[in-house]
Structure 1
Amino acid sequence: MCGIVGLFIKDPKLEPQLGAMLAEMLDVMCDRGPDSAGFAVYGSGSDGTVKLTLRGPAGTDFAAIGAALGHAVTARDTHAVLTVPAADEAATRAAIAGRFPEISVVGAGSRMELYKEVGLPADVARRFKLETMSGTHAIGHTRMATESAVTTDGAHPFSTGPDQCLVHNGSLSNHAGLRRRLEREGLTLTTENDSEVAAAYLTYRMRQGDTLGQALEHSLGDLDGFYTFVVGTESGFGVLRDPIACKPAVMAETDEYVAFGSEYRALAGLPGIENARVWEPEPAKVYFWDRAA
């Protein structure tokens, strides 16, 4: 079943409240996906640096890892953000794989931080202190694992490109064949989740020169199944439902923000929602907002 939420802040005055607003939305969606949860937040960044979001076993000494690698690190429960010069990213990834094989890199980008864990979504949000985070946009997911095991690896969001991530409600019927095609094109997929295939497909299309909007449009022909995608990039936030649109979805827009929820109740606590334009996104139509526009 799963639940999806997303926020795109249009008024900078609301940026400090982004995490608190998203945390409330995830809390409301707990009963749509009580197995695990995750979210990606697009906050501040520095030119010439990359944030690597790391995940490790409970009790990992991330401060010691950061010191050993010679880079600044900020720990949050089982995850940490390691900030490295962009020129050192490949070498740092190699050092992590060689010296700390128990550590996974779950996301990377100039602004994106990505967190996910097994557990009730409200508890996951509290563990990572989502309510304290600020930024311009964020997406989140609450998972009901109907087709695979309840694991952190299977939790959303999935990120397969810099500052890019995806959450998904639904199921893809052609993901196995598409996985093989993407792997032949050089993409690395680490789980059996069809949602990671969808994320990798968008990464592949964007490497071919597509914008995110164009990649989503191409997915309508290349992905088979029923799905709702909410996608984040460094500067934008996108939504797409399949041509049948059997999965629930609702959106709201005010002068201050754009919001997405699997159900309206996820949006009901947002400031000014009573004055929002509220609608159900149309099937097979790409919706996209970009802070650079």
Structure 2
Amino acid sequence: MCGIVGLHLREPSLYPRLGELLTAMLGQVVERGPDSAGVAVYGDPRLTPPGRATLSLLDAGDDLAAVQAALHERLPDAVALTADATTVVHAPVSAAELLAAVGGALPQARVIGTGTDVAVLKGTGHPVDLAVSFGLADVSGWQGVGHTRMATESAVTPEGAHPFSVGADQCLVHNGSFANHATIRRELSAQGMAFDSENDSEVGARFIAHQLAQGADLEKALRMLCERFDGFYTLLVATGDSFAVVRDAIACKPALIAETDGWVAMASEYRALDVLPGIENARIFEPEPEEVYVWQR
């Protein structure tokens, strides 16, 4: 049992409120996952400035000044920021160049997000406390997803928390359980894919990333996931231009979608949608089993 929230803003005047609204939504699903939490935010000018690649890291080091100094030896224009257990690094270079520089400067760090639009922040503890330590209420942007976790299949660690971001500007949050994830993990590992946790949700994220890398669009990748994965699940997947929801064939895990001219939102419970402006005029519905819903920027 985990909690999912997501918000895709259509109305630019709402962009400054992204973090405020996402914080309020996350606070409504704490009981669904009180041990850890994470968010992915798209388009914040401080975390992901235009023209700069961004990496989100765990285990980069507790001393921000030392992290910054190590990075500056390789990239003088790199900037490092901390948010609870996460360090966000951005620089005016390509994502590949930034990955190489961070790998050399901070070899112990674990990459949990990469791209030009997304920053991933996650940690352990009470989700509301984590939102405060992330500074989430002050974040702006055009899209965000969040997750509160009740760990059932792997340890309570920042690595095991959602979102899982394993492709450029791609994030996945998941409520449920995949029954055959170990088999698919072995298949992906045989193709050279490395994993960062024992979480079954990471297998789903890497499967989707693999399909996208092979040329599938997001809708097709999610349809392929429905064909290959067994279990009970609701997934919310975000990319640099899309926001998508899918449920398994049984659809026993809760999910609601609300849509207005100004935004599209998804949550595990209605009360997480009730905090949004204009909810009284929204079209609210429960996603159908195995139907892929995609909204694009």
TM-score using structure 1 length? 0.94
Partner SS for 2:15: helix
Distance 2:72 2:142 in 1: 30
Instruction: Give the Cα–Cα distance (whole angstroms) in 1 for the partners of residues 176 and 107 of structure 2.
Output: 32
Structure-1 separation of matches of 2:73 and 2:37? 30
Identity %: 49
Cα distance in 2 for residues equivalent to 1:51 and 1:58: 17
1:69 is paired with a residue of what secondary structure? Answer: coil
Output the CA distance in 1 between the equivalents of 2:256 and 2:96: 40
Q: Secondary structure at the match of 1:122?
A: helix
- Of residues 165, 175, 187 in structure 2, which corresponds to 1:169? 175
Post-superposition shift, 1:53? 1.2
1:66 counterpart letter in structure 2:
L
Q: Alpha-carbon deviation of 1:151? A: 0.9
| Cα drift, residue 54 of structure 1 | 1.9
In the alignment, is the contact (CA less than 8 A) between 2:85 and 2:158 conserved in 1? no
Structure 2 distance, partners of 1:91, 1:32, is 39
AA partner of residue 15 (structure 1): Y
Deviation at 1:79?
Answer: 2.1
Count how many residue pairs are aligned between Structure 1 and Structure 2. Answer: 290
Shift of 1:91: 4.6
Contact 1:9 1:15 in 2 (8 A): yes
CA RMSD, 1 decimal: 1.7
CA gap 1:257/1:248 in 2 versus in 1, 3 angstroms = same
List structure 1 runs of 4+ shifted beyond 6 angstroms. Answer: none
Instruction: Report the Cα offset of residue 59 of structure 1.
Output: 2.7
Structure 1 unaligned residues grouped into runs of 5+: none
State yes or no: 1:243 paired with 2:249: yes
Give, as a single letter, the amino acid of the residue that structure 1 aligns with 2:19: G
Q: CA separation in 2, counterparts of 1:280 and 1:199?
A: 23
Paired position in structure 2 for 1:200: 206
Once residues 22 and 46 of structure 1 are traced to their aligned partners in structure 2, the CA distance between those partners, rounded to angstroms, is 20
Aligned partner (choices 273, 284, 289) of residue 290 of structure 2: 284
> Partner of 2:81 in structure 1?
74
The alpha-carbon deviation at position 149 of structure 1 amounts to 1.3
Matched, 1:84 2:87: no
Deviation track 1:36-62 (CA, whole Å, cap 9, x = no partner) reads 000100115566531111223673324
2:156 corresponds in structure 1 to 150
For 2:13 and 2:105, the matched residues in 1 are separated by 42
Contact 1:60–1:78, Cα closer than 8 Å, also in 2: no
1:143 Cα deviation (Å)?
0.1
Alignment of 1:217-228 (within 5 A): 217-228=223-234
Question: Is contact 1:38–1:140 with CA below 8 Å preserved after alignment?
Answer: yes
For residue 162 of structure 2, what is the amino acid of its counterpart?
H
Q: How far apart are residue 193 of structure 1 and its match?
A: 0.6
What is the SS of the residue equivalent to 1:19?
helix
**Contact preservation (8 Å) 1:36, 1:120:** yes
Matched, 1:179 2:185: yes
Partner AA of 2:269 in structure 1: E
Cα 1:118–1:224, aligned 2, differ >3 Å: closer, same or farther?
Answer: same
